[in-house]
Amino acid sequence: MTAGMTLADARARIPDLWVETADTRGDAALLDAIAEDCDRISPVVMVDPPDGLLIDITGCDHLFGGEAALRLGFSRRMQRAGLHVRTVIAGAADTARALVRFGRIAIVPPGGDVQAVRSLPVAALALPDLQHLTLLRAGLKTIGELADRPSRLFAARFSEAMTLKLARIQGLADPSLAPRRPIPALWVERRFADPIGRNEDAEAALAELMSELCSRLREHDKGARAVEASFFRTDGAVRRIAIQTGRPVRQESVLLRLFREKLDALTDPVDPGFGFDMIRLSIHSADSLASLQESFDGREAELNEISDLAARLSARLGAGRVIRFLPEDTHDPDRATRAVPVAFDPVASGTWPTPAAGEPPMRPSQIFRPPQHIKITLVEAPDGPPRRFTWRKKEYEVKRAEGPERIMPEWWRAGAFDRTRDYYRVEDSGGRRFWIFRAGAYGGNTAPEWYLHGMFA
């Protein structure tokens, strides 16, 4: 049997052939589960569908006794899981990929990528069928025969994409690879010869790792903003717990308290199963953190306490449930603010408006979304503020009014309002203050409409 053979031909040769429909989703899920387990080897793991993985082991092989021991241990681990794998260690990703499928070399010595792929067939380049057939008809059957000829000949005939593949398979060009998970800026880990299964042992190991991590943060004058704890079980399952802080932190007690808050709030507790054989702490976001300097008003500690409280609430309730507002650089009142998790520190594009001393605020504290339609029963002048309006079946008499403040539509934004608005701040006879606007103008093709957009406290 050969790849590409029809089912009828295959059954003609093997009448008792077992046939099943390919489960592409199941295969992808299995490959992702294997990639998750490979994270114990290196934090830089890339999925190479449909059936491959790429692992960057730079600086990691010494943890396993060298490249040969790492390769042997990984192969045996996969065999115990019932999987048949082929592994190659090379200096370039494309070199390893080609040797796994078409070669017989297990470990390529440093600087030997060019020589290792010379005998491989041109099929290792994974070119389109027409280009592959053209090369075979020209008598070019191996990578070495292609490499011995000027690259400009192939670029003129097949485009530069083909020459780029040829350079990558020889390790002469670096491909753009995307790890399945963000590469941490800093990490520490503990491996256990005998898996640990008690929560007390896992917490003690986590505390030791946190102390080491914070020590390294102090060496770099940085503070953690996002920390992740990964618990690797012996059966290949990985449980990850992440915390975020509202300010850079490098105190072990603060970070450990956030992790305990997170663990206590989990609806699905961390199950050690047959035990954890590795625990890793990773920092995915860190900011510069110089020595603490007290402010003149003595509020530095108070601000830090507020930030720590917000981080604890985020850890217990979820980052999306503890939010704050940031100003946006826009005239549209509906887009003037945006809600973000309090643990994040994005850069705002605008500033909060500050009213003049003794003046009321320009914007109300309560905004209606969408604005509520009101009926005007008395207008002093066509372009002036209303003197009486009805809202929710109740009539209000305007005693004071200020405006108009004209806001033009932001036509370059999707979903923006389409008519010019004239806003007024008005106060009724009962002392209630409203923020109303007229959409459109009198005398146009469409009659203007009035809306209540907010109320002042």
State whether 153 and 198 are in the same domain. no
State whether 83 and 108 are in the same domain. yes
* Max Cα distance, the chain (Å): 96
Torsion of CA 246, 251, 253, 254, to 10 degrees: 0
Q: Which residues contact 349 (CB under 8 A, 6 or more apart)?
A: 327, 328, 329
> What mean pLDDT do residues 13-37 have?
90
What's the confidence (pLDDT) of residue 300? Answer: 55
Q: Identify whether 412 is part of a domain.
A: yes
Confidence of residue 384 (pLDDT cuts 50, 70, 90): confident
- For CA atoms 110, 114, 120, 121, the dihedral sign is positive
Confidence of residue 355 (pLDDT cuts 50, 70, 90): confident
State whether 61 and 155 are in the same domain. yes
User: Which pair of tokens denotes residue 368?
Assistant: 């209606």
- The beta strand positions in 64-221, using DSSP E, are 186-196
pLDDT tens digits, 46-98: 999 888 999 999 988 888 999 999 999 999 999 998 999 999 999 999 999 99
Q: Identify whether 61 is part of a domain.
A: yes
Q: Identify whether 126 is part of a domain.
A: yes
Residue that has been written with the tokens 């060298």 in this structure: 66
CA distance 214 to 252: 6
Global pTM? 0.67
CA distance 63 to 74: 13
State whether 273 and 407 are in the same domain. no
Asked whether 434 and 456 are in contact (CB, 8 A), the reply is yes
State whether 295 and 191 are in the same domain. yes
Which of 140, 169, 198 finishes a domain?
169
Q: To the nearest whole number, what is the mean pLDDT of the chain?
A: 86
> What mean pLDDT do residues 257-282 have?
86
Asked whether 178 and 187 are in contact (CB, 8 A), the reply is no
The parent domain of residue 209 ranges over 186-314
State whether 199 and 148 are in the same domain. no
State whether 42 and 159 are in the same domain. yes
> What mean pLDDT do residues 34-44 have?
91
Q: Give the chain's domain count.
A: 3
What's the confidence (pLDDT) of residue 293? Answer: 53
Asked whether 261 and 315 are in contact (CB, 8 A), the reply is yes
State whether 161 and 240 are in the same domain. no
State whether 30 and 163 are in the same domain. yes
Q: Identify whether 11 is part of a domain.
A: no
- For CA atoms 380, 384, 385, 389, the dihedral sign is positive
Lowest mean pLDDT among 95-99, 140-144, 384-388: 384-388
What's the confidence (pLDDT) of residue 46? Answer: 94
Asked whether 363 and 336 are in contact (CB, 8 A), the reply is yes
Lowest mean pLDDT among 59-63, 274-278, 333-337, 447-451: 333-337
**Pick from 239, 345, 220, 348: nearest CA to 290:** 220
Helix ranges, 292-446 (H): 300-317
> What mean pLDDT do residues 96-121 have?
94
Helix ranges, 159-248 (H): 160-169, 199-219
More confident residue, 411 or 350: 411
pLDDT tens digits, 309-350: 777 777 777 777 778 888 888 888 888 888 887 766 655 566
Asked whether 323 and 340 are in contact (CB, 8 A), the reply is yes
CA distance 44 to 181: 7
What's the confidence (pLDDT) of residue 105? Answer: 92
pLDDT above 80 (res 408): yes
Q: Identify whether 78 is part of a domain.
A: yes
CA angle in degrees (0–180, nearest 5) for 135-92-51: 75
> What mean pLDDT do residues 384-401 have?
91
pLDDT above 80 (res 455): yes
Other CB atoms within a 10 A radius of the CB of residue 172 amount to: 15
Task: Enter the DSSP assignment of 110.
Answer: T
State whether 121 and 199 are in the same domain. no
What's the confidence (pLDDT) of residue 398? Answer: 93
Distances (CA, A) of 46 to 51, 292, 320: 12, 40, 29
What's the confidence (pLDDT) of residue 447? Answer: 84
Confidence of residue 301 (pLDDT cuts 50, 70, 90): low
State whether 196 and 293 are in the same domain. yes
Task: Enter the DSSP assignment of 350.
Answer: S
Q: Identify whether 422 is part of a domain.
A: yes
The CATH number assigned to the domain holding 289 equals 3.30.1490.100
Single-letter amino acid, residue 375: K
Asked whether 106 and 88 are in contact (CB, 8 A), the reply is yes
Q: Identify whether 357 is part of a domain.
A: no
pLDDT tens digits, 177-229: 888 888 898 999 999 989 998 888 999 999 999 999 999 999 988 988 889 99
Single-letter amino acid, residue 53: L
CA distance 389 to 226: 52
Q: Identify whether 358 is part of a domain.
A: no
State whether 298 and 385 are in the same domain. no
CA distance 443 to 447: 7
207, HSE (Cβ side, Cα atoms, 13 Å): 9
